[in-house]
Amino acid sequence: MATRVCTHIIPHALCRICGVAVITWLCLVYTADERAAGTNAKVQLVIYGKNEKGESVKSDEVRLENSEDNFEAGQEDQFKIETIDVGRPYKIRVSHDNSGSFAAWKLDRVSLYCISFRY
């Protein structure tokens, strides 16, 4: 069975139109505390998980953006993001578009917490 992806914007709940749960995550992104570790590029995140049937599911790419000063050296940035229910997450992919005058980035770590989960 193919994974259904919700294209409707219904935060924090089950989309009654297509029946796909929408999950809210708190995403903490830590940039290394080193000289020139920050970036001005646009950063994206994808969450990969396994549903209750053991099938792999991935979220759409989500842009991490809430300030012009995100991803500076030694900084923790917090984002609330919404995705479809990916089941139990087993990996994430963080990428950037290499834009801006200081595009290189030294990502230290990412923490992901489910803060709203309803069917």
pLDDT digits (tens, 9 = 90+) for 77-92: 999 999 988 888 899 9
The whole-chain average pLDDT of the chain stands at 83
- Reported pTM: 0.80
**How, if at all, do strands 22-31 and 88-96 pair?**
unpaired
Out of 3.40.50.300, 2.60.60.20, 3.20.20.10, 1.20.1270.360, which CATH number does the structure's domain 22-116 have? 2.60.60.20
The sign of the CA dihedral 29, 35, 41, 46 is: negative
Tokens standing for residue 65: 């953006």
Which of the 8 DSSP states describes residue 99? -
Which residue is it, tokens 């992919």? 93
Work out the average pLDDT over 49-76. 91
Give the angle subtended at the CA of 79 by the CAs of 76 and 83, to the nearest 5°.
140
Residue 15 pLDDT: 53
Q: Among the ranges 15-19, 70-74, 115-119, which has the highest mean pLDDT value?
A: 70-74
